[in-house]
């Protein structure tokens, strides 16, 4: 009978570590499985085999191994940490939080666990808790550059932009080649409208990581390029690299389209612009039928007349929400700045609260075979939105949400918030669609093909007609072109609809120093100017699919 050793020897453990550390993950797994025959309850072996599975991309297998490790050794902080990372990678954020908290309960002085917990809480929208966790990470490890960067992101989303800038600067001071932190710092400066600091910082980002497509794209949006600029040659050279990722190819193509727009070389501009958009559509594997189905599902949730709910069932609140909706690039940021400049209002920017919640609600109800919106659904939307707002560190009662695509959810909003004000932006359809096609939006999957864009615009107009019929006189329409030609008259009418007293500051919205998280953050710092809705006409010959699709002429 074979005599078993009572404990795993150091040499045996080192042999496993040697295989893992040299990237021989399959060999390490085989070695551990052989050792498990003699040592079936050694937690460190399961922790190492889990790490091997993780490196091989076998995340489910890795999770099982880490779970075995902690079942054998309940105070195994490292295995709980590893399990949290796997659960996060699997999209199981709530479970990841539990694992990180268990690791911290065992070992409070665990900066990596505090950092990962903070970033996961951030992704869950729990900003206050995220900030606290990241501050603990830094308290235990002050030179933790990644934690300073992550804290900056959380503070930025919490509305503490100046504090966020301080955190990003600490991250870059600790790690001088930290491109991601420089990039985040640049975006914070952009949101504050500090064009000079934005340009300087994004140039620094590109100098550290010149092959980063998104960084070059941001540079192209703020830098004025001239003929024979060496930066252009560098972008073209990097774009020609065979190993450049698809994401970076998209970024560089969009960047070069901005460069050639700046140089007024329209042929080159559209060569790169059309390529960028086609690559992005390819990456998303998008078809317009996806949005057509979603719009149909939205309509199916309502009947005429809309659902009637007793006032007594609505939870009481002092919040008076204002929703600015419309197509992107229709002027929602401009109107947001105008209302935000009012002494009684707070512009919260583009909140994704309703999109996440209502999107999931529609999916769940569709899977359950339900179509019509229920009273329970409406009240849950109200509770969720109010709860999310309560976590955003906002003191004012009048809160503006300027997520443009909330036009899809107007019926849900008015059902859940009968006290809400809906401001709908109208603008020339070609001006809107050209501007959307020209800019790179991470979302808006319909925007990367002229035909898709035209069809989506028609769907938007159809849905707005649907809402106006169901909720007559509940939606305030404002025309972008009218606002730019008669600013004071239109501003007075807007404030009157929002039940806000006249405030002269609303005419001087461009002096508002508050951060604005939008593509047009620099533009909204400028005074109103006329003529922007005519710019597309310079490119008429390149936009024929869009013109025909919109039936513009």
The yes-or-no verdict on residue 107 having pLDDT over 90 is: yes
CA atoms within 13 A on the CB side of 424: 17
State how far the alpha carbon of 50 is from the alpha carbons of 32, 222, 538, in Å: 11, 46, 59
Integer Cα distance of 226 and 222 in angstroms? 13
Max mean pLDDT among 19-23, 347-351, 394-398, 425-429 falls in 425-429
Instruction: Give the model confidence (pLDDT) of 415-432 as tens digits.
Output: 999 999 999 999 999 999
Query: What pLDDT, on the 0 to 100 scale, is given for residue 527?
Result: 66
DSSP3 helix / strand / coil % (the chain, rounded to 5): 65, 5, 30
Q: What is the mean pLDDT of residues 526-548?
A: 87
Token reading at 260: 């050639």
Q: What is the mean pLDDT of residues 161-167?
A: 96
Max mean pLDDT among 156-160, 288-292, 511-515 falls in 288-292
Q: Taking the alpha carbons of 406, 408, 414, 415 in that order, is the dihedral positive or negative?
A: negative
The yes-or-no verdict on residue 110 having pLDDT over 50 is: yes
Token reading at 361: 């609600």
Q: Which has the closest alpha carbon to 294: 388, 233, 361?
A: 361
Q: Which has the closest alpha carbon to 411: 399, 397, 401, 422?
A: 422
How many residues are given for the chain?
553
Per-chain mean pLDDT for the chain: 92
Helix axis angle for 213-222 and 246-262, nearest 10°, is: 20
Integer Cα distance of 466 and 460 in angstroms? 10
Instruction: Give the model confidence (pLDDT) of 484-493 as tens digits.
Output: 999 999 999 9
Query: What pLDDT, on the 0 to 100 scale, is given for residue 7?
Result: 80
Instruction: Give the model confidence (pLDDT) of 16-60 as tens digits.
Output: 889 999 999 999 999 999 998 888 889 999 999 999 999 999 999
Q: Tally Cβ neighbours within 10 Å of residue 305.
A: 8
Task: Note whether 521 and 426 are within 8 A (CB).
Answer: no
% of the chain with per-residue pLDDT over 70: 96
Q: Quick one: DSSP state of residue 347?
A: E
pTM of the prediction? Answer: 0.87
The yes-or-no verdict on residue 4 having pLDDT over 80 is: no
The yes-or-no verdict on residue 133 having pLDDT over 70 is: yes
Q: 362-366, 438-442, 480-484, 514-518 — which is least confidently predicted? A: 514-518
**217 CB contacts (<8 Å, ≥6 apart)?**
251, 252, 254, 255, 258, 440
Ramachandran angles phi, psi of 387, nearest 5°: -65, -40
Query: What pLDDT, on the 0 to 100 scale, is given for residue 513?
Result: 66
More confident residue, 84 or 13: 84
Note the helical H segments in 90-178: 93-106, 111-123, 127-140, 145-157, 161-174
The yes-or-no verdict on residue 2 having pLDDT over 50 is: no
Query: What pLDDT, on the 0 to 100 scale, is given for residue 1?
Result: 38
Task: Note whether 350 and 402 are within 8 A (CB).
Answer: yes
Instruction: Give the model confidence (pLDDT) of 507-534 as tens digits.
Output: 988 876 666 555 555 555 566 667 788 8
């Amino acid at each position: 009978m074979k005599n078993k050793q009572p404990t795993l020897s150091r040499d045996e453990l080192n042999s496993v570590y040697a295989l893992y550390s040299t990237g021989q993950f399959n060999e390490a797994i085989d070695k551990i499985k052989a050792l498990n025959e003699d040592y079936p309850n050694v937690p460190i072996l399961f922790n190492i085999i889990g790490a091997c599975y993780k490196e091989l991309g076998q995340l489910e297998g890795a999770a099982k191994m880490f779970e075995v490790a902690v079942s054998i050794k309940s105070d195994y902080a490292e295995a709980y940490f590893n399990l949290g990372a796997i659960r996060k990678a699997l999209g199981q954020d709530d479970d990841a939080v539990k694992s990180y908290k268990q690791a911290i309960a065992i070992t409070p002085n665990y900066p990596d666990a505090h950092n990962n917990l903070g970033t996961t809480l951030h992704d869950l929208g729990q900003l206050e808790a995220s900030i606290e966790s990241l501050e603990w990470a830094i308290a235990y490890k002050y030179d933790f550059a990644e934690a300073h960067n992550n804290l900056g992101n959380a503070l930025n989303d919490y509305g503490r932009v100046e504090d966020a800038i301080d955190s990003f600067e600490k991250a870059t001071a600790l790690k001088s080649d930290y491109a991601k932190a420089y990039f985040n710092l640049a975006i914070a400066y952009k949101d504050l409208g500090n064009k000079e600091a934005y340009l300087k910082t994004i140039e620094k980002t590109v100098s550290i990581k010149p092959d980063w497509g998104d960084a070059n794209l941001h540079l192209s949006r703020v830098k004025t390029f001239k003929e024979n600029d060496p930066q252009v040659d560098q972008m073209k050279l990097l774009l020609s690299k065979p190993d450049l990722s698809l994401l970076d190819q998209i970024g560089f193509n969009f960047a070069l389209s901005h460069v050639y727009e700046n140089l007024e070389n329209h042929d080159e501009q559209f060569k790169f612009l059309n390529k960028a958009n086609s690559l992005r559509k390819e990456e998303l594997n998008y078809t317009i039928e996806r949005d057509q189905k979603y719009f149909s599902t939205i309509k199916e949730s309502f009947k005429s007349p809309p659902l009637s709910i007793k006032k007594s069932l609505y939870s009481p609140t002092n919040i008076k929400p204002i929703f600015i909706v419309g197509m992107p690039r229709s002027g929602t940021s401009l109107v947001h700045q105008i209302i935000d400049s009012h002494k009684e209002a707070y512009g919260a920017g583009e909140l994704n609260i309703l999109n996440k919640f209502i999107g999931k609600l529609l999916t769940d109800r569709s899977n359950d075979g339900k179509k019509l919106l229920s009273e329970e659904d409406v009240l849950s939307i109200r509770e969720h939105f109010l709860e999310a707002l309560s976590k955003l560190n906002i003191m004012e009662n009048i809160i503006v949400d300027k997520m443009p695509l909330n036009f899809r959810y107007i019926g849900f909003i008015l059902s859940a918030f009968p006290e809400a004000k809906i401001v709908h932006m109208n603008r020339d359809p070609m001006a809107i669609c050209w501007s959307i096609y020209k800019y790179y939006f991470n979302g808006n999957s319909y925007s990367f093909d002229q035909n898709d864009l035209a069809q989506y615009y028609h769907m938007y107009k159809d849905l707005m007609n649907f809402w106006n019929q169901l909720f007559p006189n509940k939606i305030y329409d404002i025309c972008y072109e009218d606002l730019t030609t008669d600013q004071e008259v239109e501003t007075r009418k807007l404030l009157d609809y929002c039940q806000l007293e006249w405030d002269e500051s609303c005419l001087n919205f461009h002096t508002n120093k508050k951060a604005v998280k939008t593509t047009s953050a620099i533009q909204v710092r400028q005074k109103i100017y006329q003529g922007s809705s005519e710019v597309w006409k310079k490119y008429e010959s390149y936009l024929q699919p869009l013109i025909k699709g919109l039936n513009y002429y």
